[in-house]
Structures are given as C-alpha cells and as structure tokens.
Structure 1
Amino acid sequence: MSVLHRPPGTPPLALQRTHTDRVIDTFGVVAETLWMRLVTSSQYAVGRKAHAREHALLLELVNREVVAHDEDVVQLTFAAPDGSPLPAWQPGCHLDIHLPSGRRRQYSLCGDPSDTGHYRIAVRKIPDGGGGSLEMHSLRVGTSVEIRGPRNGFPFVPRERMLFVAGGIGITPILPMVRAAQRLGIDWHFVYCGRNRQSIPFLAEISTWDQQRVTIRLDDEQGVPTAGDVLAEAPTDGAVYVCGPPPLIELIRSATADDRAVSIHSERFSAPPVRNGRPFEIQLARTGKVVPVPADQSALAVIKQHEPNVGYSCQQGFCGSCKVRVVSGTPEHLDGRLTEEERADSMLICVSRAKTERLVLDL
C-alpha cells in the first residue's frame, strides 16, 4: 500500500505505483474492452464511476473452508439472506467488514466477479495481532455481519504481458487478476512466495493452472528469494502486480527503480514504515497524559500502548476507523480519506502527524 509519510496528492487507498505507464498500448485498450464484456455493462460502470462508493449490507456467512494445510487460513463466503445479487466488483477490490466486537477490518475479494451472489475473502489467523483475524476465524456459518464496499484501491489494468507476484496471504487480490488474465489471453506469469508449502493457501486451485506459467518459491526449500528469482519472468515492457509483506514489495521496487518500461503496482496488508518523520508529542485530553511520538513511529502505534482499545483498522489512512477529534494543535494530514471539512477538527492517527510540537486529542 502507499507509503505512510507521503506528500499531498499521492493516491489514497492501497495503490502504490512506483512507475506510471508512459502509454497504455493498443492491446491494453482491446483487453479492457474484452474485460468489460466479461461482466455486464452495468457492473463495469459501477466500478468505473466510483471506487469509493460504499454499500452497507448485512450479509450472512454461508460457507467456511480451510484453504491452507496449516489450517491458519480460512476462506469465508458471504451472501445476502434473501439470495439477492450483490454489488459488482472487479479484481483488486476489498470489503470493509464490521465485526460484532466493533472492530473494522479490510479484506480483499478473492472469488469470481461473475458470481454476483457471493463475496469470498480469505483470512490468515494472526494470534498476536489486533484481534480482528481471531474474530474472523471464530465466525460460524449463519452469522450475519455488516459489510461495506466493495472499494478498489488496487485496480487491475490489462497489459499484453504481465507478471503477478504474491507473498503468503497476499495471494487474495492476485487470484482474481490471474483468472482475468487467463480469460483475456494475456501473456502472464505468476510467482508465489511463502515460508513453506503448509502455510500458503489456494495451492489446490493453483495446481490446475498452466504450470509453465507458475513459479512457487518456498523459503524452507529454496531459501529466501532474491530479486532475480522473483523477477526472472518479468516482462520487458508490461506490468508487475505484487501483493505481500513489505520486504517483498521493497525488493521488487528497488530492483525495478530504474526500469521505466515496466509499471509496478503493489498492495500491502500491514502498516508501512514511517519515512522522513518528525517527532512530536500527543496529549490525551481525557487523562492529561503526554506521550512522545518518535520520528519512526505512527501516532497510532504510540497511542495503542496507553489506550489499547483505541479504534483502528487499515493502519494506512484510507478506512477512517481511527478518526480522532483534535482539541488543539495543527495536524499534518497524510490520509486519503477525510474531507476538508473533517480535517478542520479531526485526523486519522494511523498516518497523519503534527505540524506543531504537540497535538491534544480527544482521547
């Protein structure tokens, strides 16, 4: 996803493009036309007109399936209780899940956009995380949850040649992209990285793909991959889509920094490091406690140490869960969510920082 300390104008949500296409070639235009035909024109129009448009739905969990040998990843399938069609989505879209506890979490859709009756996501259990994955794993078939979306911050734009790279649970947004590439007849290759064969999900489906187009790199068998390993099949003029842990994304970005012929599109599922940060102080108005925020930490990371129940979700400035009222001081807004009116008296503490030496927050 996008760098935590980013300048104004950087695209919001999960999109990180290290290189922009100089021109979308003729094939790209033709491929996108074919993609439009794979879904109805009305479905495509929904996604094209407003990525940020949200639909609040109360959906029922209708299926729960373990999709990794270590049983730490489950695929959850949701549907409308009355079986009505769900809002359309395209590869790269994600959902906001509002859990019974009040937590909000974002998960990429990993099913088939042509299946208008179901939304499928996959969740890895993280025992020492913020509790969201544990709660997701505890959901049982028949449970109803509020879902908002779908929204797309990692849009799939067809190119004649494409490389897809996934690390671990980063496979979820990549799956629909590879399926779309297959349908469109694109020259594609897929690289899947993980700790071991037990930990990476969806191997059964991947085994049905053309194995000449698939490379699986496992740390316990082949060692940690190098940039050369991951990018061996990278197109000389095309696009690379990558989703996974920050080290994998940084590996690819660094290796392709000087290659202007390839566009890099990436999404990450964890808070990126703070870059070029400046230290400041936060005062918690309800207790009067003053806590320092170091240059390399987010305000949220520090506040969680003192207020463990503070609300948050994406940790990247696009979901709005960590919105807090500013009592005094001037925030440095680095989010892609709040309106100018909201920024007059609020901030997102997961990414935004301070222009003044101290912020007093309504916490």
Structure 2
Amino acid sequence: MAPKLLIKVRLAGVRDEAEGIRSLTFVPVTRPELPPWRGGAHVILRLPDGVRRSYSLCGDPSNRGAYRVGVQREPGGRGGSEYLHTAARVGDEFYLTHPQDDFALAAAASRHVLIAGGIGITPILGMLRDRPPGSRVEVHYCVATRSRAAFLAEVEDLADAVTLYPSDEGRRLDVAGLLAEHTPGEHVYCCGPPSLGDAVEAAAAGWPDGTVHRERFVGAVSDRGAPFDVELVASRKTLHVPADRTLLEVLREAGVTVDSSCEGGLCRSCRVGVVAGTPVHRDLVLSASQRESSMLACVSRGDGVLRLLL
C-alpha cells in the first residue's frame, strides 16, 4: 500500500487491558481528525517492516481525534502482535487504512445478541457505543479465565446485560439453548474462534436471512486448484496462474500493485473487480452481490479466463 493511500498516525497511548491484551491509541499526524467509522469496523495497520495486520476499532465512534484498537499477544503468530506488545513505543509513527465497516449493528433490529470469544470482544465494544436508539443489547462473553476478560468494565457499563463465561470455572455458553428460538427484530453477532462461530451459525441455521452476523479471525485455507488465466484491462497484461500459485502471488510477481493484509480471505483488502469470467470464490466475507463483480485475489481462483479491472 502506498503511503498516499493511507493515514499517517502516531501512537499516543498504550494500556494493558487484561492478561496478554493491550489497547493502543493512535492520533492523526497530518490531518485535524480521522475518518468516521461505525461500531464493528476495522483498520489495517502497516508496521515499520511493511507487515500489515487488521485490527478492530474499540474506541468511541464519536471521537474523531483518535482510534483505539485491542491487540492480543500471539507469541507463535506472524509477528504483528508481538511487535506491538514488545517493540512499539508511544511516539512511534505508523500508517493505517480508512476504516472498513462490515460488522455493524443492524439499524432496524430491536434486540441484539452479541457473542464474543476472547479478543473477539474488540469489535463488539465499538458496536456497543454505536447502538441504534431504543434497541436492547445483551453480551455473552466467553474467556479462558477472568484475568483475560479485557474491557469487561466498559462492556458492563454499555450493555443492557452481560454474562461472563470463564471456562476455567466450568462456565460455558449454551449456544444452542440461547439461539434455539428467534423472535421478530432479533439479530445475533459473533466474533471469536472458529469453533464458537461455527456453533452460532449451526444453532441459528433456521433464523431469517440477514439476522446472523459473524466476524472471523482465521482465514480460509488456500489449497490452490486448477490453473487459470487473467486478462488485466487497465494494465493490458495477460497472466497465467498455475495450480500451485495464488492470483495475488502472480499479480505481485508481474508488478501489479494489489493491497493485502490477512491473505486468508478475511479482510477484503485484496478485493479486485471482475469484468468477465467465472470466479471460484473461497473468501469468507464477500456478500452474494459483491461476488457478482469482484473477488479476493489471495484465496479465490478462476474457472477458465477472467477479465479483471487491474
């Protein structure tokens, strides 16, 4: 991502929120305020070594002077969280993207059931501050131990009802029981580990379309696939994507700039426009309407020849 497409920010504050979890607050460097955002949005932060990672905003959407994110330290991860926990210092400068709003509370819903697993509480915290007037919001918060329940006091202050489930105390959320029946105007939202999200989707399988919302942390597994060709309209290039390479890899090798972050079909940053052809979608986030005219280059492929707006 070129700097001109990003927002330059400075790390203004760091605070430990729970065991292994800290919040970081960024303020603008070259502009008076930051772009607006809705609760549930995320940004992609570019670290000094060029690594890009997605983080949910967990501050106050009405505060245009700062963005706050929550980061869980993952010693065995890909390096982003480790850097932000051990090397980042107040005063350091970074670049981040404009917020992407894909996990907001439904404006027409009268009751919101928010289910969080661990660090999955971060987007939900922003959603609580951005709740539609007159709606009821309840939070079910699953954690390994109480010491890892980040932002709990803030959540309890903002929600109508909060239930904490520390697994080490033998308390576990009965997802099937909670979502066994749907009432008109009710929506459910889940952010957490795959097992929790899968349980929510299974329990709410009979709910009306558009009432079940899921934010994912773990991307799709790209097991490659059949080879295909792409014709790039703007670049006037034709490229071959072998069975053992991704479209994103081939585009980079050809010098075609495409943003990326998670590279697992989650963050939408590598979304490219499709003019013609049949994409083989493997992402976890695009809607049916979005898939009609676009695809994610990191995991999705083509059946035959694709024409792309690149």
How many Å separate the matches in 2 of 1:230 and 1:299?
Answer: 40
**Partner residue in 2 for 1:67:** 17
Q: Match for 1:185: what amino acid?
A: G
1:185 Cα deviation (Å)?
A: 3.0
Does structure 2 retain, via aligned residues, the 8 Å contact 1:195–1:219?
A: yes
Moved more, 192-201 or 150-159: 150-159
**Runs of 4+ with >6 A deviation:** 337-340
**Partner residue in 2 for 1:77:** 25
Q: 1:203 to 1:252 in 2, by over 3 A?
A: same
How many Å separate the matches in 1 of 2:7 and 2:49?
Answer: 17
Decide which of 143, 160, 167 is 1:219's aligned counterpart.
Answer: 167
Matched, 1:166 2:116: yes
Question: Residues 213-262 of structure 1, C-alpha deviation per residue, up to 9 Å, x if partnerless?
Answer: 11111211134433235548975541111111111111111111113288
Decide which of 186, 203, 208 is 2:135's aligned counterpart.
Answer: 186
1:81 Cα deviation (Å)?
A: 3.1
Q: 1:209 to 1:153 in 2, by over 3 A?
A: closer
How many Å separate the matches in 1 of 2:116 and 2:102?
Answer: 17
Q: 1:320 to 1:339 in 2, by over 3 A?
A: farther
**Partner residue in 2 for 1:108:** 56
Length-normalised TM-score, structure 2:
0.73
Does structure 2 retain, via aligned residues, the 8 Å contact 1:62–1:79?
A: yes
Q: 1:75 to 1:57 in 2, by over 3 A?
A: same
How many Å separate the matches in 1 of 2:212 and 2:292?
Answer: 29
Does structure 1 retain, via aligned residues, the 8 Å contact 2:111–2:136?
A: yes
Q: Match for 1:148: what amino acid?
A: T
Length-normalised TM-score, structure 1:
0.63
Alignment of 1:303-314 (within 5 A): 313-314=261-262
How many Å separate the matches in 2 of 1:147 and 1:122?
Answer: 15
Does structure 2 retain, via aligned residues, the 8 Å contact 1:238–1:263?
A: yes
SS at match of 2:197: helix
**Partner residue in 2 for 1:94:** 42
Alignment of 1:196-207 (within 5 A): 196-207=145-156
1:127 Cα deviation (Å)?
A: 0.9
Does structure 1 retain, via aligned residues, the 8 Å contact 2:176–2:199?
A: no
**Partner residue in 1 for 2:236:** none
**Partner residue in 2 for 1:241:** 189
How many Å separate the matches in 2 of 1:219 and 1:129?
Answer: 23
Report percent identity of matched pairs: 35
Unaligned runs of 5+ in 1: 1-53, 283-290, 301-310, 324-329, 357-363
Does structure 1 retain, via aligned residues, the 8 Å contact 2:38–2:130?
A: no
Does structure 2 retain, via aligned residues, the 8 Å contact 1:249–1:266?
A: yes
Does structure 2 retain, via aligned residues, the 8 Å contact 1:165–1:230?
A: no
1:99 Cα deviation (Å)?
A: 0.8
How many Å separate the matches in 2 of 1:279 and 1:82?
Answer: 44
SS at match of 1:173: helix
How many Å separate the matches in 2 of 1:75 and 1:213?
Answer: 24
